[in-house]
Amino acid sequence: MTHSTLLRWSSMALVVVLLFSCKNELEKVMAFASEDEWPFQTTYNVTYTYTEKGQVLNRVMAGEVNRFGADTGRTEFSGGFLLIFYDSLLQEESRLKSMRALQYHHRNLMIAEDSVFFTNEQGETLETSLLIMDRDSGLIYTDEPVKITRDETIIFGDGLRANESFSWYRIINPRGEFYMEDEEDDLP
């Protein structure tokens, strides 16, 4: 075999190897990054105000918001997340704060995660790592450890069920120290 023939065969073999390796890499990339995984809209430092029949219901603030395709119906909030609920007189009713949140539009669910703080109008504050809001039922719940602080009382638990405004709640396996004032009427 001559030197030029050997060079020609080597070049063709290299081209065939490159074509097949590029195809394999391209398939891996396409498998990893399907169209549903990339947001179709990204916004930064946003404030959204949600209304119904002209009445402000809540306000959302986030450092970054990524909206994904219609199939997933998912919005991701990151860089800090704040959700403020208002009553009919536009007074703040409760406040939910976390590092991240996910909203699933088709299921009407919102999941707040990472350093979650939820405060109601009585000044009670819930702390947890994950909180799920089911907008259809108006319930908020978690099975993660919780800490509720109110006045001089701190209550710990293994989970929580509450209404959307956090005006009533039930703690799963509550424990802590409770301070109760003596009432003169109850004394003998």
CATH number of the domain that residue 79 is part of: 2.60.450.10
Task: Specify if 183 maps to a domain.
Answer: no
In this structure, the answer to whether residues 27 and 46 fall within a common structural domain is no
Using one digit for the tens of pLDDT, what is the confidence trace for 126-145?
A: 999 999 999 889 899 999 99
**H/E element, 153:** strand 153-157
pLDDT at 1: 58
Between 10 and 112, the more confident residue is: 112
Residues 81 and 172 in one domain: yes
CA distance 174 to 171: 6
Q: Are 162 and 133 found together in one domain?
A: yes
- Examine the domain organization and report whether 11 and 47 are in the same domain: no
More confident residue, 3 or 136: 136
Residue-number span of the structural domain to which 26 is assigned: 1-33
Does residue 102 carry a pLDDT above 90? yes
Q: Is 160 helix (H, G, I), strand (E, B) or coil?
A: strand
pTM of the model: 0.71
Alpha carbon distances (Å) from 50 to 37, 57, 84: 26, 6, 10
Same domain as 115, residue 56: yes
Is the same domain home to 125 and 142?
yes
64 bridge partner residues: 44, 78
Is 14 part of a structural domain of the chain?
yes
Distance CA 125, CA 65 (A): 26
Averaged over 107-119, what is the pLDDT? 94
- pLDDT bin (cut points 50, 70, 90) of residue 41 is confident
- How does DSSP classify residue 35? G
For residue 141, being part of any structural domain is answered with yes
